Amino acid sequence: MKLKSDFFGDWVGLQKDILTNHWGYDVSLIPDDEIPFLYFNAEQRRPEAKVRQLVLADTFSCPQNLVTGWERLKHLIESGQDLTSNLSKLINNLNNKDSMLNDWGVHHFHLGETMEGDFIKRTGPLLFALLIDNKFYAIGIFEHGSWADQDIVEIIHRNWSSVIEKYQIKGVVSSTPLTEQERLNLRKVNGNSLVTVQDGTTYAPIGGGVVSAGLNVQAVMSKDRQRVFLRYLEEYLESQLENLRTTFEKQGYNGEPELEARLDITESEYTAVFPKYGISALLFSANK
């Protein structure tokens, strides 16, 4: 009994479905091998709609003219609603990359009061925030274009150093700090850089950084890890087919040399489905 499967292709197919039917992107001309990178890019830029605890930085202050828009966004955050309307309109461009997000892991949100189409009315000042797990860390409201203002990382470090501790580089003596323009120029050519805050603590890119092609490092690593993992699941399943022979025979199996299976993925489980025989086999569960 041999297994006929393409779990990696099934995984890519699920990503295509989300990109197309949930987020509205056209991926018809995109090669399958590029889909995981674009999916990760879109997923990273589009915060999941879920209830989050709002945490304000010690220096957080909202200008009076933006209070109404800020209160509206706060409601969306704390009630678990979709935040897409407050994001950049460039979110609709699947190939667009947010360099501040890739470098420092920081999202930016507009604070308008009324909707204009699918998006909130654009504002000059923007809310910068770090979204990790179920928390929304509001860093501050910055002028548009402050993408490389080192105060952003200073505030994160001063308020929530434990949250970004894993990105600390121990034993590094920093050279001359980069200016804002130097950091922006480096981002334009897909370069990565460390950032050292006032107390001497040095951080690697909190957002994961990018490879030379401009893809997020985590996206590349995730794709590679997933390919290896899915191949392992295929090999494991094939090794168990003989043990399942009786089950297949009860469902009409007559000794065919190949058994075709597809992969079904939920938030916590990977299941192999044999459509011809109506049989499914749990391969992995995060709950176990």
Looking at every residue in the chain, the average pLDDT score rounds to: 94
Note whether residue 38 is domain-resident: yes
CB < 8 Å & 24+ apart, contacts of 63-70: 63/125, 63/141, 66/111, 66/123, 66/125, 66/141, 68/113, 69/110, 69/111, 69/112, 69/113, 69/120, 69/123, 70/111, 70/127, 70/141
Note whether residue 242 is domain-resident: no
- Global pTM reads 0.90
Classified as helix, coil or strand, 269 is strand
Residues 6+ apart with CB under 8 A from 22: none
Note whether residue 270 is domain-resident: no
What pLDDT sits at residue 170?
A: 85
Q: Which domain holds residue 193?
A: 31-209
Classified as helix, coil or strand, 280 is strand
Note whether residue 176 is domain-resident: yes
- For residues 262 and 21, give the distance between their C-alpha atoms in angstroms, rounded to a whole number: 20
Beta pairing partners, 285? 269
Angle at alpha carbon of residue 28, lines to 25 and 31, rounded to 5°: 110
How do 135-142 and 53-56 pair as beta strands? parallel
Note whether residue 115 is domain-resident: yes
Note whether residue 56 is domain-resident: yes
Beta pairing partners, 127? 109, 141
In single-letter form, the type of residue at position 210 comes to V
Domain count, the chain: 1
C-beta separation of 159 from 140 below 8 A: no
What pLDDT sits at residue 174?
A: 62
Note whether residue 260 is domain-resident: no
Note whether residue 155 is domain-resident: yes
- For residues 273 and 55, give the distance between their C-alpha atoms in angstroms, rounded to a whole number: 43
In single-letter form, the type of residue at position 75 comes to H
What counts of helices (H) and strands (E) characterise the chain? 8, 13
Closest CA to 57 of 113, 106, 102, 101: 106
Positions of the chain with pLDDT under 50: none
HEC-encoded secondary structure of 124-138? CCEEEEEEECCEEEE
Beta pairing partners, 107? 129
